[in-house]
Amino acid sequence: MLEKALQGEPRYWGWLVLLLVGIGAGFGAYSVQYQQGLSITGMSRDVSWGFYIANFTFLVGVAASAVMLVLPYYLHHYKTFGRITILGEFLAIAAVTMCILFIIADLGKPQRVNNVLLHPTPNSVLFWDMIVLNVYLILNLVIGWTILGAERKELPPPKWVKPLIYLSIPWAVSIHTVTAFLYAGLPGRGFWLTAILAPRFLASAFAAGPAVLILLAMLVRKLTKFDAGKEAIQTLAKIVTYGIILHIFFFFLEVFTVAYSQIPSHLTHLKYLYFGYHGHGGLVPFMWTALFCGFTAITLLVVPQWRKNEGLLGIAAVLTFICTWIDKGMGMISGGFVPNPLHEVTEYAPTGLEMLVTLGVYCVGALVLTVLYKVAITVKEYEELGGAAPAPH
Amino acid sequence: MQIKDRPIIIAGILIFLAIFTFPLWSAMGKTAPEPKVELPKDVKECVAPKDYMRTSHMQLLNEWRDSVVRDGNRVFVAFNGKQHNMSLTSECLRCHTDKAKFCDQCHNYTGVNPFCWDCHTYPKESK
Amino acid sequence: MMAFNRRDFLKIAGLSAAVGLGGQTAWELLLPGHLDAAEMPAASGLTAKRWGMALDVKKFTPAVRQACIGVCNQSHNVPKIDSKQGLKWIWEAGYEAAFPDLEAEYVEDEIKEMPFLVMCNHCDNPPCVRVCPTKATFKRGDGIVMMDMHRCIGCRFCMAACPYGSRSFNFHDPRKFLPDPAPNKDYPTRTKGVVEKCTFCTERLAVGKLPYCVEASQGAMLFGDMSDAGSAPRKALRTRYSIRRNAALGTNPQVYYLI
């Protein structure tokens, strides 16, 4: 099937070349980091995780959100999602690929990463995160590829793939839960020490992932003959609506507990993020932007006429993405480290090289996504045309 | 596969083979100088028999490393009953005084680059 | 020489001998050769069931504090990097930074203004050890929380887990910030990409000496076996009021501050 990714129009190849340029830039920046160590990043003794881990966390959510398509389609036989479930599964593959690259980019000694397998340590959440992420990647590859292959041959998918699909549903929840456990079990970090961290992560993921899918489906419709269908997009929109409302609701649950109890080791982080702390407030404008985007998205999504207007829906999807990305990609990691356990403030901002490495990883993800979508959409287009032979090249 | 693709495919395979075998043909005709290992003059026995040290000193050093750092052991009782302090810089280099004339000889010849020296300082080495 | 800690490789070693392959054969390269040897701690080493420390805070003068910090940095080749990416094994922290959980509006002037020496607490229940994915940081039998720099992959999970800010990461190649040769040629430097911290001077205990800072403290730091009621820190703790850094987190820190 992969050969379908080798045929395309000039704009397809142009896009791939553009992505390769981005990957090259990221790789160049990474080789500087490899030579000079993580000193080229904005991370510090106090804020020891930064942009890489934040983006990793966000993308684990995007990967997990594939379950929002798989579950209705396979568990509830919601046929409308039949056409786009594969897009969700392939988005998950691209997202997990990026997650793994972000982890590697963040390691001080990437050449020793095998030590995690050579000295397996079940009491470390990172050990479990490695397992759930890799298994999730394999599950989605096997399921997506098998089902698409069967579809191409116009055969029903093989029976053995069913149990794997059922397994992939709780597994999707597990990847983001375990990722939340990375943070939620640390005794000295009041911002993360909350049982609602995993639900918060999942809610924002179930908003962000389907929002990305809505935008991708709109883009695919514009660029190819494949149309996901209005109804499928509208159902995704409803999922985003519930997701973003839950995300904001859970955020306020956290705010209440922290603000009403007024325990400083929990409260100071929120103060830093939303009002600034001891004269440091680098993230304040971003955090309020996120809240503003979240509320605007909710407004656009809850009113049925607005949600059904695809132009407004597109805007709501973009706003949802911005809201959840700032929340996880900027606030969630820095917020936990500032102030540090000694109540000292060291702020964090990524450096240019750090952002370039990040860009490179996103370009790898976009490349994987493009190639996989190209294969899937070529198969779907062929079906669309009622089995007519594809245009000769 | 279409017939007109054949030259491209064959060219691709040839390029791949050329790159893949680069380490073989790039050194053709050249011979690296044989390692000249300088042995200590006054000491005759190492911490293990010579044959063992030649083939397996890296395992021994890894073993020493784990034993010292992780188990808090410091003393190695050798095959001949002699006791040694398990330390690269203060024990191995006590007899093999010049890293360049001992360690580096074979390591350079075989193209290995052990990372011991990234941290363990060699007294005479001015880096 | 009874309780040798013979390791697996010494045992499987017999295999190649049993097969009758001596000397340099292909087998030798695959399997380590027969080696009749053993490993054990040095006889002169200091041992304990549970190492710990008590700092008599009012005995410290600025000069003593600087001596403790200086000798540690010098002896462990800890580079001085004046940025937020620096490294600290033992350092000075004000009362509010060292004891944020014991925040009090009104405290004895001397205490409120005094810098405290802080370091790794060698917790009895260390969160850093719990989270490490490779056992690169681990708790030894004598309670010391140790770092294996050879194994650390630099994920910095331990830094997020430590509630005392006791861990430092080598963002830079530390040798770039050290004189050549390094201040103490008998102690290794580190390499970029690994985490480091105070080790209670395991290298000194192994040869029967007390940690450098304790030696430099002129009696202000009491180091000993916390499981031994007769040890110097235990004796002092029985008669004096003491505090620990954020013990409410359940980490059970083993560094006490005598007030």
Predicted confidence (pLDDT) per residue in A340-352, tens digit: 999 999 999 999 9
Helix (H) / strand (E) element for A368: namely helix A352-384
Q: How far is CA A128 from CA A104, A114, A174, C84, C132, in A?
A: 16, 14, 10, 31, 12
Query: Residue C53 phi/psi, 5° resolution?
Result: -150, 145
Residue A200: what pLDDT? 96
Confidence of residue B81 (pLDDT cuts 50, 70, 90): confident
- A302 vs A7: which has the higher pLDDT: A302
Q: What is the 3-state secondary structure (H, E, C) of C178-196?
A: CCCCCCCCCCCCCCCCCEE
Q: Which range, B123-127, C25-29, C102-106, is most confident?
A: C102-106
Is the predicted pLDDT of residue C107 greater than 90, yes or no?
Answer: no
Is the predicted pLDDT of residue A316 greater than 80, yes or no?
Answer: yes
CB atoms A341 and C135 under 8 Å: no
> Do the Cβ atoms of A330 and A322 come closer than 8 Å?
no
Residue A303: what pLDDT? 95
Give all domains of chain C, ordered by start, each with its CATH number. Answer: 1-40 (no CATH), 51-258 (3.30.70.20)
Nearest C-alpha neighbor of A356 from the set A58, A105, A113: A105
Residue of C nearest to A119 (CA): C134
Confidence of residue A384 (pLDDT cuts 50, 70, 90): low
> Do the Cβ atoms of A68 and A169 come closer than 8 Å?
no
Q: What is the pTM of this model?
A: 0.90
User: Residues of A numbered 89-128 whose beta carbons fall under 8 angstroms of chain C's beta carbons: which are they?
Assistant: 103, 106-110, 112-113, 115-116, 118-119, 121, 123-127
Task: Tell me the CB-side half-sphere exposure of residue B13, using CA atoms within 13 A.
Answer: 5
CB atoms C160 and A186 under 8 Å: yes
Interface test with C, best of A57, A121, A262 (most C CBs within 10 A): A121
Interface test with C, best of B45, B46, B70 (most C CBs within 10 A): B70
Residue C21: what pLDDT? 40
> Do the Cβ atoms of C144 and C200 come closer than 8 Å?
yes
Per-domain boundaries in chain A? 2-384
Residue C180: what pLDDT? 83
Query: What's the rounded mean pLDDT across residues B99-116?
Result: 89
Distance of alpha carbon C258 from alpha carbon A356, whole angstroms: 50
pLDDT single digits (tens) C209-249: 999 999 999 999 999 999 999 999 999 999 999 999 999 99
Is the predicted pLDDT of residue C10 greater than 50, yes or no?
Answer: no
CB-CB neighbors (< 8 A) of A350 in chain C: none
CB atoms C190 and B119 under 8 Å: yes
Residue B97: what pLDDT? 86
- C19 vs A176: which has the higher pLDDT: A176
- Domain A2-384: CATH architecture, name and number where available: Up-down Bundle (1.20)
Is the predicted pLDDT of residue A386 greater than 90, yes or no?
Answer: no
Distance of alpha carbon A144 from alpha carbon A161, whole angstroms: 10
Look up the ipTM and state it.
0.90
> Do the Cβ atoms of A336 and A53 come closer than 8 Å?
no
Is the predicted pLDDT of residue C39 greater than 70, yes or no?
Answer: yes
pLDDT single digits (tens) C79-96: 999 999 999 999 999 999
CB atoms B70 and C41 under 8 Å: no
**Looking at CA atoms only, how far is residue B94 from chain C in angstroms?**
12
Interface test with A, best of C155, C158, C191, C249 (most A CBs within 10 A): C155
Query: What's the rounded mean pLDDT across residues A197-211?
Result: 96
Q: Which chains does A contact via 3+ CB–CB distances below 8 A?
A: C
Distance of alpha carbon C257 from alpha carbon C259, whole angstroms: 6
Is the predicted pLDDT of residue C14 greater than 60, yes or no?
Answer: no
In chain A, % of residues over pLDDT 90: 85
Residue C12: what pLDDT? 39
Residue A128: what pLDDT? 96
Is the predicted pLDDT of residue B125 greater than 80, yes or no?
Answer: no
Is the predicted pLDDT of residue A392 greater than 70, yes or no?
Answer: no
User: Residues of C numbered 116-145 whose beta carbons fall under 8 angstroms of chain A's beta carbons: which are they?
Assistant: 127, 130-136
pLDDT single digits (tens) C130-163: 999 999 999 999 999 999 999 999 999 999 999 9
Is the predicted pLDDT of residue A192 greater than 70, yes or no?
Answer: yes
Query: What's the rounded mean pLDDT across residues A152-173?
Result: 92
Is the predicted pLDDT of residue B103 greater than 50, yes or no?
Answer: yes
Facing residue for C9 by CB, picked from B59, B78, B85 = B59
Q: Which residues have C-beta within 8 Å of that of residue B74, sequence separation ≥ 6?
A: B68, B85, B86, B87, C41, C42, C45, C206, C207
- In this structure, the number of other CB atoms found within 10 A of the CB of residue A353 comes to 18
Query: What's the rounded mean pLDDT across residues A347-368?
Result: 96
Residue B123: what pLDDT? 63
Residue C62: what pLDDT? 95
> Do the Cβ atoms of A96 and A138 come closer than 8 Å?
no
Is the predicted pLDDT of residue C18 greater than 50, yes or no?
Answer: no
Query: What's the rounded mean pLDDT across residues A65-92?
Result: 91
Facing residue for C181 by CB, picked from B48, B70, B121 = B121
**Mean of the per-residue pLDDT values for chain A?**
93
Residue B2: what pLDDT? 64
CB-CB neighbors (< 8 A) of C35 in chain B: 48, 52, 56, 60, 79
In chain C, % of residues over pLDDT 70: 86
Nearest C-alpha neighbor of C150 from the set A382, B114, B28, A167: B114
Residue C19: what pLDDT? 40
A276-290, A294-308, B37-51, C11-25: lowest mean pLDDT where? C11-25
Distance of alpha carbon C36 from alpha carbon A5, whole angstroms: 60
Residue of A nearest to C92 (CA): A342
Confidence of residue B38 (pLDDT cuts 50, 70, 90): confident
Tell me the DSSP string of C22-51.
-SS-HHHHHS------EEE--TT----SSE
